[in-house]
Amino acid sequence: MAEAYRYGQDNRIFSFASYCFDVFITDIFGGLSAGAVVCIAPQIATMDDLTRLLNVSRSTYVNFTSSAASTLDPHELPHLQSLVLTGEPATRMLFQTWTSRVQLTNSYEAAVITWVDVSPNTDPQCVGNVVPGMEVMVLDDSLRRVPIGVQGTIFAVVRA
């Protein structure tokens, strides 16, 4: 997990997610196992407080939804080095806003199923490649694989 998220000893990871979401667990255990500092936002923190909290904590790394990231100005966050967009579809506008300022990554779901580094021209619908150790399948209601282009449910399995 720490490898996929590129957590390291120099990171100050800002954890804003609710304790019941998988991204919170990823931030805490992935970050601590890599020797990073984890900065947990107060439970009463609001979206209006994000810039101030990120600056006070000198956070260098965040996992945010596209909605949360769209409320921030990258020029007001001098310490931030890495932003992972997760949990919601990303937009080209976000890619263009953030790629010149931080290492921007589009991740499908916080549990790190797929991962792609982003450039300003990356297609927002591209969620990248499957993280090593995972297998991802798109299945129908009877749990059969569907052909490429057919809608289904994404199933992720950890390979032994």
Q: What is the pLDDT of residue 37?
A: 97
Which pLDDT tens digit goes with each residue over 109-151?
Answer: 544 555 567 777 777 776 666 767 777 788 999 999 999 888 8
Q: What is the pLDDT of residue 44?
A: 81
Distances (CA, A) of 87 to 63, 70, 127, 144, 160: 9, 14, 11, 25, 26
Q: How far apart are CA 158 and CA 14, in angstroms?
A: 27
Architecture of domain 2-131: 3-Layer(aba) Sandwich (3.40)
Q: How far apart are CA 92 and CA 60, in angstroms?
A: 23
User: What pTM was computed for the model?
Assistant: 0.77
